[in-house]
């Protein structure tokens, strides 16, 4: 359904999180301590931004943030796979993996704070595939969007400029 305000778009992502929460708690015993937030991308950079995840600090002083650019809420593309986007960029995708890695003090620093891109993105892709098990993809449009995301990747997986996030994947 089309949205009227940016807050409605953000609420829709919160709802995705709420919907999966019971199954998430069953599937993931080991979860990050880091807090998580969903924010609208700041206006000054929204026009050129893709949805993205920005990791928090390991001491928890800054939360991990899932940023969503919303230029015009009424034109927000609801059928491009909001659920698969959230699974990939946010939970259990980049937020879980990157936060757990940062919080694991048994790892050497280069492993806590460095990123192996194939691993980071591989995990996020795997998370997209968990949609049904997590209680999502009940709306055929969301499932179609997820399949579209997956299909698009066959052509151009892992572009070289992936800044530990697959921005380009979510562009169109
Ligand atoms: Zn990614």
Report pLDDT digits (tens) over 36-78.
999 999 999 999 999 999 999 988 899 999 999 999 999 998 7
Give yes or no for a contact between 148 and 80, defined as CB atoms under 8 angstroms apart: yes
In a domain, 171, yes or no: no
Q: Is the pLDDT reported for residue 29 higher than 50? A: yes
Question: How far away, in angstroms, is 140 Cα from ligand 1 center?
Answer: 23
Give the count of domains, the chain.
1
Question: How far away, in angstroms, is 116 Cα from ligand 1 center?
Answer: 12
Question: How far away, in angstroms, is 102 Cα from ligand 1 center?
Answer: 17
What predicted TM-score, i.e. pTM, was given to this entire model? Answer: 0.85
In a domain, 78, yes or no: yes
Instruction: Select the more confidently predicted residue: 141 or 24.
Output: 24
Q: CB within 5 A of ion ligand 1: which residues? A: 121, 124, 165-166
Q: What is the pLDDT of residue 49?
A: 95
In a domain, 29, yes or no: yes
Query: Rounded to whole angstroms, what are the CA distances from 57 to 25, 31, 112, 139?
Result: 23, 16, 11, 35
The residue range of the domain holding 36 is: 6-166
């Amino acid at each position: 359904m089309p949205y009227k305000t940016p807050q409605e778009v953000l609420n829709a992502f919160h709802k995705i999180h709420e919907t999966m929460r019971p199954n998430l708690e069953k599937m993931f015993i080991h979860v990050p301590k880091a807090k998580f937030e969903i924010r609208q991308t700041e206006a000054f950079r929204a026009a050129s931004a893709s949805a993205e995840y920005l990791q928090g600090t390991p001491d928890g002083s800054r939360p991990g943030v899932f940023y969503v650019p919303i230029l015009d809420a009424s034109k927000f593309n609801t059928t491009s796979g909001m659920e698969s986007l959230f699974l990939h960029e946010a939970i259990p995708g980049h937020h879980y993996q990157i936060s757990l890695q940062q919080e694991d003090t048994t790892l050497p620093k280069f492993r806590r704070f460095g990123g192996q891109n194939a691993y980071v993105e591989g995990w996020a892709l795997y998370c997209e595939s968990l949609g049904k098990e997590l209680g999502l993809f009940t709306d055929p449009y969301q499932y179609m969007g997820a399949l579209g995301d997956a299909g698009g990747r066959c052509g151009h997986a892992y572009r070289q400029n992936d800044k530990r996030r697959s921005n380009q994947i979510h562009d169109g």
